[in-house]
Amino acid sequence: MSLASVKPVASKKHTITIEGLNKSYHDHPGSGSGNGDIHYIIKDVDLVIKGGEFFVLLGPSGCGKSTLLNMIAGFISKTSGNLRVGGSDIDKPGRDRAVVFQQADSSLFPWLTVRQNVEFGLKMKKVPKRDRRVVSEQYIDLVGLTGHGDKLPRELSGGMKQRVQLARVLANDPEILLMDEPFGALDAMTRRTMQKELVRIWRQTDKTIVFVTHDIQEAILLGGRIGIMSPGPSSKISHIYDIPLTYPREVSAAEFYEYHSRIQAHFDE
């Protein structure tokens, strides 16, 4: 498939700007150990993700990666601070942003075929049937599912379902893809294939991607920059690594190993 055929005509690149962002919650007094104290999940997060960037959020389990991603998605409201996408304040979900979850099963309609799942958002937007078909075929091809359009999700492997989820999100043409450990439930070989495919798709479509993982290797394979989140509570972006390695990246390369060691040392400190 040619690059021009999948690139949106007016490809917008939205910058994500985060300044002094906080998310806190109160203990519920009277429920167990709760005494009404304020707890910060994330505190004083400052970050700018440039339009078209592949940015990875890396941090230990429970540090607040999903919370931050869901705030960018508009699913979780901020307590205080600034969060803007393309210059607009974010306080709710929008068509400019789409989330890809770890479990494709929970996002696909099991009674719809691959093609119908991919076309769902376009149907909601009342895109004519013939145009929907053209777009869905493009994205089914792009994610490597050519010939599987008439299958139901239950006839697909985990990796194939994840590809359908990606095709469906891409068909809606959001400027920003927010990916929450999307390959975490896949076996190692399928995961590696999907990582390569995602880089290929990102380079073809020019989207901004924010990708959450706790896997250092995955972060270096994918990210142009990697933001390290400190362990919670009151987590923040403690360091940002530029990864200027060319794609596709090889884990066996000496430079790859160097970045891995440096980031691993960061967590071991």
Spatial separation of the C-alpha atoms in residues 211 and 191, rounded to whole Å: 14
Per-residue x/- track, 27-56, ligand ATP (CB under 6 A): --------------x---------------
Q: Is residue 73 involved in binding ligand ATP (CB under 6 A)? A: no
The single residue among 51, 62, 81, 158 that binds ligand ATP, judged by CB under 6 A, is: 62
Burial class (CB in 10 A: 0-12, 13-18, 19+), 255: middle
Q: Is residue 64 involved in binding ligand ATP (CB under 6 A)? A: yes
Q: Is residue 232 involved in binding ligand ATP (CB under 6 A)? A: yes
Residue 225: which of 14, 55, 13, 18 has the closest Cα?
55
Per-residue x/- track, 160-199, ligand ATP (CB under 6 A): ----------------------------------------
By DSSP bridging, strand 38-49 and strand 16-26 are antiparallel
CB nearer to ligand ATP: give 77 or 88.
77
The single residue among 25, 109, 111, 257 that binds ligand ATP, judged by CB under 6 A, is: 25
Single out the segment in contact with ligand ATP by CB under 6 A; choices: 3-11, 64-72, 191-199, 240-248: 64-72
Write out the residues near ligand ATP by the rule CB under 6 A. Answer: 25, 41, 59, 61-67, 214, 232
